[in-house]
Amino acid sequence: MAMTAGSCAQPVTKDEVDFSRWICIYPSFLDQSRSIQEGRRIPKSSAVDKPNCIEVFEAVKVLRLRTVLENKAYSRDFLTHGRIRVELFDGESRMPLNAEIPSRRVLFRRVAENIPAVRAKMASLRANAESSSKGKKGKCRK
């Protein structure tokens, strides 16, 4: 099973959508601590520090492109799981679906630009969840 985003984030099976021609993004592509030989695909000035697959998935959703999160490993970093597939081009005409993102390199940079905002949003959600759970105390049962 894979998670997809677009109009709504619902699990889809591979039979419903053919995403074999979609662009692949591994978090290592955007990792500032990696070298080009280790798999980084964008300049260090544009890269972010140790992104994970959930952050990359959320950053792509901000761009309003259809995405799928898969439990796959990158061959150069096989201990870290998570691959994001993005529908960047129309299947038949091979034209970009978003005129602002004409290539995969531009996509990688735009995703890396969105990750700090995604991290801030996730941190605020965690802080809200912790503060709301601290106020509630249950009975201790022995």
Domain ranges in the chain are 2-123
The residue count of the chain comes to 142
Q: Taking a C-beta distance cutoff of 8 angstroms, is the pair 112, 47 a contact?
A: yes
- Per-residue model confidence (pLDDT) at position 10: 46
What burial class does residue 118 get, using C-beta atoms within 10 Å of its C-beta: 0-12 exposed, 13-18 middle, 19+ buried? buried
pLDDT at 19 exceeding the cut of 90: no
Rounded average pLDDT over 116-142: 80
- Per-residue model confidence (pLDDT) at position 7: 44
Strands of 26-97, DSSP E: 67-74, 77-86
C-alpha 67/C-alpha 86 separation (Å) is: 5
Q: Between vectors from CA 23 to CA 97 and to CA 57, what angle results, nearest 5°?
A: 90
**What is the H or E stretch that residue 4 is in?**
strand 2-5
pLDDT at 9 exceeding the cut of 50: no
For residues 139 and 63, which has the higher predicted lDDT (pLDDT)?
A: 63
What is the rounded average pLDDT for all residues in the chain? 85
Task: Read off the pTM.
Answer: 0.79
The dotted CATH code for 2-123 is 3.30.56.30
Q: 56-110 pLDDT, tens per residue?
A: 999 999 999 999 999 999 888 888 899 999 999 987 888 998 889 999 999 999 9
For residues 32 and 91, which has the higher predicted lDDT (pLDDT)?
A: 32
Provide φ and ψ at 124, rounded to 5°: -70, -35
Confidence of residue 42 (pLDDT cuts 50, 70, 90): very high
* Percentage above 90 pLDDT, the chain: 58
Q: Is the Cα dihedral 104, 106, 79, 67 positive or negative?
A: negative
- Per-residue model confidence (pLDDT) at position 80: 86
pLDDT at 36 exceeding the cut of 60: yes
C-alpha 3/C-alpha 43 separation (Å) is: 29
Q: Which residues pair with 83 in a beta bridge?
A: 70
